[in-house]
Each structure stands twice: as structure tokens, then as C-alpha cells.
Structure 1
Amino acid sequence: MLLFLALPIIFLYLYYELHYRRFRKYANFPQLKSSLVWGHLQTLRQVHKDRDRVDGDIDPVFGDLMEQAGNPPVLFIDFWPLNEPMLLIRNHDVAEQVSKQSQLWPYSLPKSPSFKEYLPLVGDHSLIWESGHHWKTLRKLFNPGFAPKHLMTLLSVVLDKTKIFVQILDEHAAKADVFDLSSPCTNLTFDIIGAVTMDEDLHAQDPNALQNDFIQNYKRFAATYRDDGSPSLLPSLSVRWERRRLGQALDTFLGDVVRRKFDLYKADSNTTSRSVLALSLRDINVLTQPIMERRSCGEEVVGQLKYTSAVIKEVLRLHPPAATARYSPPATGFHLVLPDGSRVCADDLMLYNCNYLIHRDPQVYGETKDDFVPERWLDASAADPQASTKFGNGHIPPSSWRPFERGPRNCIGQELANIEAKVILVVLVGRYDFVKQGLGSPILGGNGDPLLDAKGRHITESDVYNSRQITAQPVDGMRVRAIRRTM
């Protein structure tokens, strides 16, 4: 009898708690109409469905939600019970507050608990995941190996691996076949990272040898994170088992490499290895000075590639590979200042710096926010004249370009990525023309040349779009035909 009488009280309590969570707890944030039961999940699903790209990256969908809400600087999205509620951030000033250090967070906010899904891939004690003093210790350990001047001493390594890449593309050009450009690019990246970080040849590009188990397992592992657009509370049991199995195999391989290199460096006190691993295992003073004194002219040459750098910056502006999600625990007292001067408490929220939207802010990039304009990065006068006068003379604030994120926890490998991109572009641009096939293929005119729109862009039958597989990647693997240029 008492239980029967208690049921209405329990129901009313649960209803009150749910109503408070949905409609009152975060009422001070801009948001779309919410459902008592589903929060914003139904709205998100409908917008995703309207795009007709179930396997597409979620960031453009967030952009549609922002437009529906009138493009506020931040937007509250309630994912509960699938995930913690999120504050979607499209304003660069607010994003900077999330990523920079503060009195509350000397090394900036820690990563969101939602990142735990990726721990089987990156490791429980990864630099990406760790926070506080432990993160600082790891960052300090790896900083020397990723220092820009040190990386320039490894330019010859990048060039050697790029030569193999060119040979592979030459073969495709000779056959005039259609292939996924992402595959040889990924293999090249594996080879460069293996050589630079571990002084290890992974043979990822070797056509005469089966790729080693490490690369095959890593690719299989990454494939388990491909977003198919279907929301779920947890990965399936089979997926979790596969991740565990592959993770153990990767750990075994990397552990063997570290032990082997450690024994080698300790046995040979005269080693000149400049890999990140070598610098982490040895006293940097033993390895640095002789090599730095033999620097080639590579740094000066790469530094002169101003337009190439502008092209890379513009590509990363329009197609940032990733973003960051941070979290301030309940009762921490972390506040954000919005552009109108109001202060809001951001505790117990996933704080998502959506770089896809930040990089397309019309107040910064004006009417050309969706256009490919490398010249905007060459000098202030080349910036879009329609950009907001708030920054003066079309100036682009540094915080509005953040593909590698900013603050203490910015990407430690960004300089390596830039060097790699510059070398590859310089080698390829004068050697090949790439013609898109399948999605995004150009419509040809009567003379066989691609038709152009008013902005000089190819008119295509369909659009290429990004999918999410840990990072944003072309959904079709960028299917192209390579044509060797005649000099």
C-alpha cells in the first residue's frame, strides 16, 4: 500500500527533475525549442536527414542548427541521455576563452569526457587526453622533438618519403586509372611519422611488400570509428572487442620499438638519431648541437613559400580536420564572457569549439567566408573588404583560425604537418593535374574543358563532402585521375 502511494510522488519528482534539466537549468543560453523527452535529439536528427548525407560530418549540421537559431555566438544543444549537453561555440573570442590558460585552469580546460571513446586508440596516458601536471610533463618531454628548427633538420627524410609517393602517382598517371588519392597520402603520412618520430621505416608505401601488421591494424582500428550517422549510447560489443584486440596488437608493436630503440641509444653513446623518440629517451644536449650546426638551406627555402603557406592556411580554414571539446566539472565556477558582455557559467557542459563554423564567421571573413581565397593571408590589404571593421582594415584576428587549436594544448605536431604539406605541394603542383572522378566531377563544355561559375570554380554534378572517421575526410576517399604535365 505504501509503495502504491509512493509511486505518484516518485513520478512527480522524476518529472520535476527532467523538466528542470530540459527547460530551466540552461535557460540562459541561446537554444532551439526542446522536447521534454528527447531534448534536441529529434531536431538534430531531422536537420541531419534534410541534408541527405547520413554519413556526413556533423559540423555542417551544427551550422544549420545555428542558422535556425539566428546565428548566436553560442548555442546550447541537449543530447541527454545519449551524451552530456553541449555548448556549440562559433565565436572566436569565446573559443579563445575555452582554449587559453586561466587561473582556474593553468593548462587550459581538460578534454571532455566524451573523448574517452577514443582512449582505446590513443591510450589512457596520451598527451591528447592527460591534463594538469601530468600533461605538462608529457608535453615538456616531447616538445624538443617537435621544435620547428629541429624538424627542419629532418627535411631530407620528408623528401625521401615524398619521392616514393611521386613514383606511385607516376604509375597511376601512366595507367590513367581512377584511384583514391587518400590512400597513398595516408601511406606517405605513415612513412613520414614513422621516420620522424621513431626513426623506423614502416614501409607503408612499398608496393613490393605487404604493409606490416602495425599499419594494417591501425587502419582497421581507425575504421571502427567511422561515423555512419546512427546515434547510439555505446559502440556495439563486437566493435569494442575489435578495438581491444587491435589496441593490444598496436601496444605490443610500439612497446617493442621503444624497447629496441632504448637499448640501441643506450648502447651507442655517439648516436645521431634525431627522432622524437631519441630526443625523449636521451639527454637532448647530447644530440642537438652538432646536428643544428649542420643545418642546410632547407629552412630558408621552405620559409620563402609564402603563397604555398597561404594556400595551406585557406584549405585548413575551409576544411579543418578536427575541433576540440573541453569540460569544466560541476561547481568549478568557470564562466564565459559572450560578445554582448554577459557572463554565463559553463560548468557541467561539453564546450565544443566548432572550427568549421568559426572559420566561416562573416564578421571576420565577410562575403567570401565560403570561398577559397588564399590571398586573404598574404597581407592585410588583401583581406575581404566586406569583413567587419571591428578589426580594422580587414585584419583577421589570430583566434579566428584554429585548425590546430590554440593555447597550451595546441597540436604539438602542427609544424611537422605544415612542413609535410609544403613539400608535397611544391613537388606535386608542377608535375600533375588531378581530375576529380565520381562525386564532385566537373561538367565539361563542348570543347572538353570544365565549365566554370561566376567565381571561376568548376561546375559539378554533385558535391564532395566530408565524413567523420576520427578526423574529417572526403567521403569517397577523393577519387581522382592523375595526369602528368608536359614541361
Structure 2
Amino acid sequence: MASLTLNRVAWQMALSAAVATLGVFVFKMIKVRSVFAKLKKQGLPMPPWDYAAGHLMVLPGLLEKFPKGSQQSDAFTLLSYDYKHTDGCFYIDCWPFSSPLLIVTSPEVAMQACSQEHDLPKPAILIPFFAPLAGGPNLFDMNGTEWKRSRALFNPGFSNNVMQECIPHIIEEADVYVALLREHARKGDTFSLDVLTCDYMMDVIGVISINARLHSMTTHNPLAAAMRSSIQWHCQDEELNPFVRWNPMRPLVEWYNGRTMDRYVFAELDKRYEDWKNNEPATRAKSVMDIAIAAYMGERKASPKLDAEFKKWASAQIRLFLFAGHDSTAATIVYSLHMLSKHPEALEKIRAEHDDVFGGDVDSAAQVLKEHPEYINKLPYTTAVIKETLRLFAPASGMRGGKPGVFLRDKNGNKFPTEGIYIWIVHGAIQRNPEYWPEPHSFLPERWLVEPGHPLYPPKGGWRPFEYGPRNCLGQTLAMLDIKLTLAMIVREFDVQDQYAEWDRLHPSSGVKTVFGERAYQVAQGAAHPVHGFPCKVFSRKKSS
């Protein structure tokens, strides 16, 4: 009898929970659909919509035009071409997979969304994205006074002077990267350039951020391994498979990785704090972490140990730098090499520029830059190649939260209300918008060398890989330095050849295999990376006599 009573109670509780869950689901659906019903009634731009499914029925047909696993933003880039009368901007309802969205593909509208005038916040939707990577509130998802204080503490660590002083450390890691490329060239094997380059940039950002050599290119490092694991397990909004999206193992893996990263960073913080105490007040800043500790301790009296709250805050920022500083930069290096391999005329020009600046042999750049680090600023064509690569292969996009009474306006006079809406600034779409960029899908480094008034001259606010406005990327100087230095050390010594034909032979499949004609299309893996890790071979060029 008691058993029957317990079973009845259990069933009643389960039924109540199910009804409550269904009630919450229906309430949220009605709330979101009501927003879109109002937008539709106002005649605002959006694909065909209905109350039951929103725009979910539109996506399957759109995604069929792209390879499985490609970025959802590429589909929205294509969809934006249907809304030229609104400068490419439109609303999307993909609930329950995402919040209500205003897709922005116009430079002018994007600048408004990121301006100080509207002061639109980073939305809460970013918090779960960065939580497993940073482990807490960080410079990317903070707002208001908290963000301003954190940014001010780290700004000095990313100044031009500090970054230039980092060149010898970057070269030290680049030497290992070059040695590994030489070994691949000697063996003639096919390997993932993206994986190797991610390890390389992780080692670079480790030195810059925490003044520690991670050696992740050649051995196991717990910090680097935990970060890469969290990125590989990461689930993004475009993942529609519920078994992948809600894999019960993910929270356990992310918790373990987060604990590993925090333990490592806490230990490094303690080391750097001891160094600060022993050398204060004339501390020689050796890393971003050193500068943050010095700035923080400048506001209080020294104590035997670092404050636990500061360590937790600092760990989140350092983990963010480790993620953002290596992930997108590595992908850009790979894509730069890929574009140069596909465009021999550009490869010839960049090699000629390096011959002029660094002279000597094909491997002379490292020694020259050690003696004259300022020479890294004498590479206009190299910079143009990088900027054009970033235009075609934007590593990420921007996101802002709407506000009551805030309307964004396009060049045609259309007004877009933002209340209750997340604003998705799709960098790839903006940077390939044919209304602003002649030959938008072509690789033309000359865009960045022409004078204002030339047809190819880039539109204001149209190039946004580091975002635009007061919340632009803190580490953009370091990223550009890393990429320029890496190209300077390898483009004269190696030829890179993708092996996608071999990959397709070994992994036969049907369906679409390119995005905008590119086989090495981007997939979401933290930042956007080349699909399949960019399988390739490298070949050594003969040294100059």
C-alpha cells in the first residue's frame, strides 16, 4: 500500500513538472511570436513567417544550398541578397534555438549598433557561449562600469610599445613552428595546418599573457589541452541536432577543463605576484598578467597573497585572452597561406616585399626582426593580404542587445526597432556585401593600397574583423603582429598546397562541398576555422645563393 502511494506521488510530481515545463515553453513561445507578429504587422523585412514555426521552415531549404556543418551566418549572407531595399537587414525568428534576431549586413547600420550614441549592451546570450571558455564574467560579455574598469586595467598591456617588445618572444615560438613545417616538408606527408597553427598561437599567447612557455606544439600542456578540449566540445547556436546540443557529457567535460585551466592560471598568478612584490615599485612588466597585477596593486596595499576574488576575475580574463588570442589568429594565418597559394601573383608580390625588407636568404626574417623589430611595420602589401583575408574569412561576428526606443536606420531611410531583439552584426555578410564591395567574393589585396575615391577603396565601417567603435578588440595590435611576423618567416621558405582533393577521395560524400566557391569553407569551432582542419602538404623552397 505504501509502495502504491509513493508511486502515485511520484507520478503526480512528474506530471506536474511536465505540465510546468510545457507551460513555460508555451509562455516563452507566445512572448517571442508576439514580438514577430507586431514586426510583421508593421511591414518590417523578414522571410515568410507563421505563428507556429516562426522562420524555422525557411532554414532547411536555405541550408541545403550549403555544405552540412557550414556556418549558419553564410546562409544569412545569401538570404541578405533578397533584402537590398533594406540595405540587407531583416528579422529572423528561430526560437527556441535562438532569441529574436535582427540580422545586420549593412556597414552603416552596424556602426550605429556599435556606437557610443546608442550604447547598446552585449546581450546575455553571450554569457553561456563564453562561460566554458573564460569561466566567468569577462571583457567580451561585461557591460557598463565593470567592463570599463576591466578594459582600463588591461589596455596598457596591449599598447604598441609593449607589443613590439614581444617580438623576440613571438620569434622564439615561430622558430619551433618553422622547424615543424620543415619536418612535414621533409616527410612529404598530409597534415592539418589548422591544428598545428592553433598549437603555435597558443604558445605565443601563453608567453604574451602569462609569461610562460607552454610548449604545446611539441608536448602536452594541461592549460592548452584543456582550452582546446573546451573549444572542441563547444556547442554553438547553429547546432540543431538535440543529441549533440544537449549531450550530458558536455557539462562534465567543461567543468573539468575549467578547473584545470583555473588551477594553472592561479599558480601563474601567484608566481607573477611574488615577482611583483620582490621588484615593486620598479617592476619590469613581462606579460599582460604582470601589467594587470601592477595596475591592480597600484590601488591597494601589498598583502602576503593575492586576493582570491581578484585571482578569479583575472583568470577569466586570461582564459579569454588565451581563447581569443590564439583561435581566430591561427585561422587567419591558415587562410592567408591558402589565399597566397591560390593566387601566385599575390605570392610573388609578398615575397618580393620580404626580399626588399629582410634581404638575404629565405629564412633571414627572424634574425633581421630580432635586430630591427621596427621593420615589421614596413610591410604594406603583407598587411593588405592579411586585411583582405580577414575580409573574406571573418573569424566571428558581433552581437548587441536592443533597447526600448532605439531604432537603427539604413541608408534608404528604413527604421528597425530593437526592443526585445538581439542584433546580430554578421561580419561575413557585411564584408561581402555587393552594395559596398566591388567583386565581393574575389581576393584583391589592392583594395587596401588604393587612395580614397578609387572604386576599390573600402567603405567606412565595412571591415569589422576586430569590430568597430569603443568596444573594438583589445588584442588587434597583437593579432596583426602575430600574423605579419609569421608570414614574414614562412612565405619565402615554404609553398603550401591544400589536399582537399585527397580528402574528398578518402572521404567520399554527396552534396554541396563549397561556400561561395571556396572548398576550404569556414565551420564554427570556437572562432570560424577551415573545414576538416585544412589538410595540406608543404614544400621547401631552395635557399637563395
With the length of structure 2 as denominator, give the TM-score of the two structures. Answer: 0.74
Q: 1:19 and 1:56, CA in 2 relative to 1: closer, same or farther beyond 3 A?
A: closer
The equivalent residue for 2:225 is 216
Residues 44-443 of structure 1 aligned to structure 2 (within 5 Å): 44-51=59-66, 53-70=67-84, 72-73=86-87, 74-102=89-117, 104-105=118-119, 108-206=120-218, 210-225=219-234, 229-232=239-242, 235-269=246-280, 271-282=283-294, 298=372, 300-329=374-403, 332-366=404-438, 368-380=439-451, 383=454, 385=455, 394-439=456-501
SS in 2 for 1:380: coil
The equivalent residue for 2:55 is 40
Residue pair 1:153, 1:296 contacting (<8 A) in 2 also: no
Compute the displacement of 1:231 (Å). Answer: 5.0
Distance 1:125 1:15 in 2: 29
Superposed CA RMSD in Å reads 3.0
Which has the higher mean CA deviation after the structures are superposed, 86-95 or 397-406?
A: 397-406
Q: Percent identity?
A: 25
SS in 2 for 1:411: coil
Residue pair 1:355, 1:402 contacting (<8 A) in 2 also: yes
Residue pair 1:320, 1:355 contacting (<8 A) in 2 also: yes
Which has the higher mean CA deviation after the structures are superposed, 277-286 or 37-46?
A: 277-286
1:128-168 Cα shifts (integer Å, max 9, x gaps): 11110000000000000001121001111111111111000
SS in 2 for 1:230: coil
Moved runs in structure 1, 4+ residues, more than 6 A?
A: 12-19, 440-443
The equivalent residue for 2:534 is 478
Which has the higher mean CA deviation after the structures are superposed, 139-148 or 394-403?
A: 394-403
Residue pair 1:181, 1:478 contacting (<8 A) in 2 also: yes
Q: 1:25 and 1:232, CA in 2 relative to 1: closer, same or farther beyond 3 A?
A: farther
Distance 2:374 2:278 in 1: 36
1:400-453 Cα shifts (integer Å, max 9, x gaps): 00101011111111110100000010111100001110259899xxxxxxxxxx
Residue pair 2:173, 2:203 contacting (<8 A) in 1 also: yes
Distance 2:30 2:274 in 1: 63
Distance 2:110 2:185 in 1: 44
1:234-284 Cα shifts (integer Å, max 9, x gaps): 633221222122112211211121122112221233543431111111159
Compute the displacement of 1:463 (Å). Answer: 1.6
Compute the displacement of 1:21 (Å). Answer: 3.6
Distance 2:30 2:155 in 1: 51
Distance 2:417 2:163 in 1: 41
Residue pair 2:206, 2:214 contacting (<8 A) in 1 also: yes
SS in 2 for 1:483: strand
Q: Which amino acid aligns with 1:466?
A: Q
Compute the displacement of 1:17 (Å). Answer: 6.6
Residue pair 1:101, 1:109 contacting (<8 A) in 2 also: no
Q: Which amino acid aligns with 1:477?
A: G
1:161-184 Cα shifts (integer Å, max 9, x gaps): 111110000000011111100122
Distance 1:256 1:15 in 2: 46
Residue pair 2:495, 2:538 contacting (<8 A) in 1 also: yes
Q: 1:382 and 1:319, CA in 2 relative to 1: closer, same or farther beyond 3 A?
A: farther
1:14-50 Cα shifts (integer Å, max 9, x gaps): 9987764443245442111012211111211221133
Q: 1:465 and 1:70, CA in 2 relative to 1: closer, same or farther beyond 3 A?
A: same
Compute the displacement of 1:358 (Å). Answer: 0.4
Q: Which amino acid aligns with 1:169?
A: L
Distance 2:486 2:76 in 1: 33
Q: Which amino acid aligns with 2:98?
A: N
Residue pair 2:126, 2:141 contacting (<8 A) in 1 also: no
SS in 1 for 2:536: strand
Residue pair 2:432, 2:440 contacting (<8 A) in 1 also: yes
Distance 2:187 2:396 in 1: 35
- Structure 2: tracts of 5 or more residues without a match: 1-25, 299-368, 506-516
Residue pair 1:22, 1:35 contacting (<8 A) in 2 also: no
Distance 1:15 1:411 in 2: 35
Compute the displacement of 1:127 (Å). Answer: 0.8
Which has the higher mean CA deviation after the structures are superposed, 195-204 or 248-257?
A: 248-257
Compute the displacement of 1:121 (Å). Answer: 1.4
1:337-393 Cα shifts (integer Å, max 9, x gaps): 122223332111110110101001222211x1110000110122795x3xxxxxxxx
The equivalent residue for 1:3 is none
SS in 2 for 1:282: helix
SS in 2 for 1:399: coil
Q: 1:48 and 1:442, CA in 2 relative to 1: closer, same or farther beyond 3 A?
A: closer
Residue pair 2:33, 2:54 contacting (<8 A) in 1 also: no
SS in 2 for 1:467: strand
Residue pair 1:319, 1:356 contacting (<8 A) in 2 also: yes
Q: Which amino acid aligns with 1:380?
A: E
Residue pair 2:437, 2:459 contacting (<8 A) in 1 also: no
1:36-78 Cα shifts (integer Å, max 9, x gaps): 2111112112211332x22111121112222344573211001
Distance 2:502 2:124 in 1: 35
Residue pair 2:397, 2:425 contacting (<8 A) in 1 also: yes
Distance 2:437 2:380 in 1: 20
Across the two proteins, how many residue pairs are aligned to each other? 433
Tell me which protein shows more helix as a share of its residues. 2
SS in 1 for 2:70: coil
Distance 2:441 2:502 in 1: 17
Distance 2:441 2:542 in 1: 33
